[in-house]
């Protein structure tokens, strides 16, 4: 009898299934099932043109306009500057040139690439998916190997539909117990990153597990995997289950009804085997997590909303003491300040972290019958999310509360389309990065969940949503 | 890609843990064609007093002579955040050929290797000590020898191994074009692909 194969992780199984060959020097040549393109991918197309090559498998490539699109209108003329309008036009031209299906500015399928891909059934369990965007980790939530790449790697995928990759180490993050009221996937991730650090999962692929994760909807799982990269993990994954299959079924680019049972049978085999060994295990107690907020300029600078701005001298490492002091200077905060009650200038609900329908429902539920006291905008993650929110009456709730209701795109998450937080302004944001200048030169970002952002908008300051 | 075998240079230390790619090149400059040269955008905002203002004389790269250095010493998790390869273009176009630091963002690290920029990982204690040394001896030189897989540090910091995966190292040493190399495996890719599409027909629609 052949010896039983060693138990494998989900990452290992999907990896093995995509390995064309292994180079004597180490890395695997991986087959890439799907490649997502956005306006920023233009360098890869320029590279291809320079070589006289065309995309090898245009049907496995999908384009979405998101980073530079205006949110106040749906024409390139609405763009904040001619240079930005040119990015949108160049994108369309490249997609036409490459024969790549794309969802441009006026398409009903348009939206943020990592919101659109699952929505359209482009993201599926068991696939390898890349995009020249670090938050491609988001799409691992359906049980896929999905990771961000640069422009050189993207040109390589366009030309060969493959990539040379070294298999990452594996980390299992188990979230035990149950989350308290007002605590979301966003808070779980901020708590995780605060615990292991912004470099904590460098070189690893994270698989999220445990009862909290199993009970999460696809939207919440997407939020988890989205922020894996903020812990330095290029990959985040959740094993596919009934919740995944229900979500995927019937979506445009998913297997057809005739193919369905076979596909699901295969997907069920992809989950990590009992006894599979992970290189590192991290366990979080779900009940101990509070709604979180960041105080500094790295996502690891997160504490519970009822916490305080820390004293830089309290950190163990000299480098962190220095950078925390610099962060506080940039954020104009003093140690010991209570975060609950900190005055704000702006609120942004959006980004591939928190702009899906459930996120909008959570925020709207806080807003019912209340009014914002500071400028606040909602940018739905996709045009379909926007339309659904309008049908469900969420858009009306946002507008009655005084929120601006925008068209879909990346918007104020990365401030590339001209939607910016002004210099020195303090913004509660549902996005993923509180980096210096991320939301605009001099902008100060506090990362929070959608419900916390809504609470902040009606009180004008950081607010513990559990009080409302 | 420009080949890299050995580089000797003075070293400029860039402060800050978790120096993300937004700091290396702010998002608003990513619209530029590469032909324009990305060096002008390197550390654009953090090397200035305010976003579009004058150069801050305290920023290490603004000090006299700092422009000559082709090696930077950086802190933990350098290049984390956005996958923008523009961060690497900015460093390369500025003339930077190697980085020394305790750890690098994964995507940034790969992007660097694809552009012949050599990221050398050294233990954090050694990086800190080297930084101290550089404040006392700003002229000190470092040699990154990719051929011999070692880095020679100044003073009595000695010689240390440089660990770059052999695949990437080979490519950088010879300035290989990876796409051309991969296309020599066209038949294996084709065979794999046909089988994959046959078992996953929805991928080909
Ligand atoms: S929403 Fe933000 S993080 Fe997500 S893809 Fe767009 S710019 Fe990147």
- Residue B12 CA to residue A423 CA, distance in Å, equals 29
* Residue A164 and residue A149 in contact, taking contact as beta carbons nearer than 8 Å: no
pLDDT band at B49 (very low <50, low <70, confident <90, very high): confident
Q: List Cβ neighbours of A141 (8 Å cut-off, separation of 6 or more).
A: A118, A218, A221, A222, A224, A225, A226, A236, A237, A238
Q: Which residue has the tokens 């933990």?
A: B76
Is residue B66 a contact partner of residue B93, using CB atoms and an 8 Å limit? no
Residues whose CB falls within 8 Å of the CB of residue A108, separated by 6 or more in sequence, listed in order: A383, A384, A387
Measured between alpha carbons, how far is A216 from A227 in angstroms, rounded to an integer? Answer: 15
The burial class, CB within 10 Å (0-12 / 13-18 / 19+), for A49 is middle
Across B116-126, average pLDDT: 97
Q: Which of A23, A150, A298 sits opposite B110 (nearest CB)?
A: A150
> To the nearest whole angstrom, how far is the Cα of B87 from the nearest Cα of chain A?
10
Low-confidence ranges of chain A (pLDDT < 70): 1-4
CB A96 within 8 A of CB A113: no
- pLDDT for the residue numbered B52: 62
Separation of alpha carbons A61 and A21, rounded Å: 23
Task: Convert the pLDDT of each residue in B152-196 to its tens digit.
Answer: 999 999 999 999 999 999 999 999 999 999 999 999 999 999 999
Predicted confidence at residue A3, as pLDDT, reads: 63
User: Domains of chain A, with CATH numbers?
Assistant: 10-165 (3.30.499.10), 169-244+262-288 (3.30.499.10), 292-467 (3.30.499.10)
Contact B102, B121 (CB under 8 A): yes
Residue spans per domain, chain B: 6-174, 176-205
Concatenating the DSSP letter of every residue in A203-258 gives TEEEEEESHHHHHS-HHHHHHHHHGGGGGT-SEEEE---HHHHHHHTT-TTSPPHH
Question: A436 CA distance to ligand 1 centroid (A)?
Answer: 16
CA distance A96 to A100: 6
* A255 CB within 8 Å of a chain B CB: yes
Q: Report CA-CA distances (Å) from A258 to A80, A281, B135, B163.
A: 47, 39, 69, 50
- Residues in chain A with CB shorter than 8 Å from the CB of B22 are 433, 435-438
CA distance A67 to chain B (A): 10
Query: How many Cα neighbours within 13 Å face the side chain of A35?
Result: 31
- Dig out the tokens for A402 from the structure: 């005084």
- As its CATH architecture, domain B6-174 has Alpha-Beta Barrel (3.20)
Mutation pick from A45, A151, A248 vs chain B, by most beta carbons of B within 10 Å, is A151
Q: Which of B1, B2, B17, B121 to mutate to test the interface with A (most CBs of A within 10 A)?
A: B17
SS3 A34: strand
Q: Note whether A162 contacts B189, CB cutoff 8 Å.
A: yes
Q: What is the dihedral of CA A99, A100, A106, A109, to 10 degrees?
A: 140
pLDDT band at B112 (very low <50, low <70, confident <90, very high): very high
B163 touches chain A (CB under 8 A): no
Range of weakest confidence among A173-177, A338-342, B24-28, B45-49 = B45-49
The set of protein residues with a Cβ atom below 6 angstroms from ligand 1 is A 66-67, 112-114, 133, 135, 351-352, 410, 413-414, 431-432
pLDDT in tens, A276-310: 999 999 999 999 999 999 999 999 999 999 999 99
**CA atoms within 13 A of residue B16's CA, in its CB half-sphere:** 21
3-state secondary structure at position A260: helix
For residue A320, give the nearest of B196, B24, B18, B132 by alpha carbon: B18
A:269-308 residues touching chain B, CB 8 A cutoff: 298, 300
Nearest residue on chain A to B110, alpha-carbon basis: A150
What is the rounded CA–CA span in Å between residue A180 and residue B142?
53
Least confident of A280-289, A340-349, B48-57, B96-105: B48-57
The pLDDT tens digits for A99-157 are: 999 999 999 999 999 999 999 999 999 999 999 999 999 999 999 999 999 999 999 99
Contacts of B84 in chain A (CB under 8 A): 40, 150
């Amino acid at each position: 009898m052949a010896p039983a194969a060693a138990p494998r992780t989900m990452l290992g199984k999907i990896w093995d299934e995509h390995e064309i060959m292994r180079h004597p020097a180490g890395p695997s040549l991986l087959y890439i099932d799907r490649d997502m393109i956005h306006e920023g991918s233009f360098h890869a197309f320029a590279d291809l043109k320079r070589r006289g090559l065309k995309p090898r498998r245009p049907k496995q490539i999908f384009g979405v306009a998101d980073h530079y699109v205006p949110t106040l209108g749906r024409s390139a003329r609405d763009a904040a500057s001619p240079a930005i309008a040119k990015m949108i036009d160049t994108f369309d031209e490249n997609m036409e040139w490459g024969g790549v299906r794309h969802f441009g500015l006026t398409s009903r399928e348009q939206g943020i690439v990592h919101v659109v891909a699952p929505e359209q059934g482009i993201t599926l369990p068991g696939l390898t998916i890349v995009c020249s965007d670090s938050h491609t980790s988001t799409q691992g939530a359906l049980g896929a190997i999905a990771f961000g790449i640069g422009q050189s790697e993207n040109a390589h995928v366009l030309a060969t539909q493959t990539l040379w990759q070294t298999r990452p180490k594996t980390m299992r993050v188990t979230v035990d117990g149950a989350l308290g009221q007002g605590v979301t996937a966003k808070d779980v991730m901020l708590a995780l990153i605060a615990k292991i650090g912004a470099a904590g999962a460098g070189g690893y692929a994270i698989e999220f597990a445990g009862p909290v994760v199993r009970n999460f909807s696809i939207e919440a799982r997407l939020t988890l995997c989205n922020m894996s990269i903020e812990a330095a993990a290029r990959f985040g994954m959740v094993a596919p289950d009934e919740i995944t299959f229900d979500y995927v079924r019937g979506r445009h680019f998913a297997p057809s009804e005739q193919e369905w049972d076979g596909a699901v049978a295969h997907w069920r085999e992809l989950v990590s085997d009992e006894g599979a060994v992970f290189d590192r295990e991290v366990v979080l107690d779900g009940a101990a997590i509070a709604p979180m907020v960041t105080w500094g300029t790295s996502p690891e600078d997160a504490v519970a909303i009822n916490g305080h701005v820390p004293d830089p001298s309290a950190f163990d490492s000299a480098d962190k003491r220095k950078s925390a002091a610099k962060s506080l200077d940039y954020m104009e905060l003093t140690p010991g300040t209570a975060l609950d009650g900190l005055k704000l200038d702006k609120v942004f609900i959006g980004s591939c972290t928190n702009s899906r329908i459930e996120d909008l429902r959570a925020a709207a539920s806080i807003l019912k019958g209340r009014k914002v006291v500071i400028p606040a905008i909602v940018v739905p993650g996709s045009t379909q999310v926007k339309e659904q929110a309008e049908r469900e009456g969420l858009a009306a709730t946002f507008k009655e509360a005084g929120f601006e209701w925008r068209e879909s795109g990346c918007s104020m998450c990365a401030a590339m389309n001209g939607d910016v937080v002004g210099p020195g302004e303090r913004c509660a944001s549902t996005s993923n990065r509180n980096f210096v200048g991320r939301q605009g030169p001099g902008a100060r970002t506090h990362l929070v969940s959608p419900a916390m952002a809504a609470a902040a908008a009606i009180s004008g300051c950081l607010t513990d949503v559990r009080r409302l | 890609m420009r080949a890299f075998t050995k580089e000797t240079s003075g070293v400029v230390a860039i402060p800050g843990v978790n120096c993300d790619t937004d700091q290396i090149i702010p998002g608003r400059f990513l619209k530029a064609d590469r032909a324009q040269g990305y060096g002008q955008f390197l550390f654009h905002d953090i090397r200035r007093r305010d976003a579009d203002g004058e150069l801050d004389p305290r920023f290490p790269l603004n000090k006299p002579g700092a422009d000559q250095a082709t090696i930077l010493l950086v802190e933990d998790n350098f290049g984390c955040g956005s996958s923008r390869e523009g961060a690497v273009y900015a460093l390369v176009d500025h003339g930077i050929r190697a980085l020394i630091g305790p750890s690098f963002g994964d995507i940034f690290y790969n992007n660097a290797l694809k552009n012949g920029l050599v990221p050398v990982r050294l233990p954090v204690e050694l990086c800190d000590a080297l930084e101290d040394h550089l404040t006392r001896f700003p002229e000190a030189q470092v040699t990154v020898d990719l051929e011999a897989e070692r880095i020679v540090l100044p003073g009595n910091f000695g010689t240390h191994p440089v660990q770059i995966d052999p695949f990437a190292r080979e490519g950088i040493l010879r300035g290989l074009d990876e796409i051309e190399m991969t296309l020599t495996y066209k038949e294996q890719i084709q065979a794999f692909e046909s089988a994959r599409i046959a078992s996953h027909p929805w991928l080909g629609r």
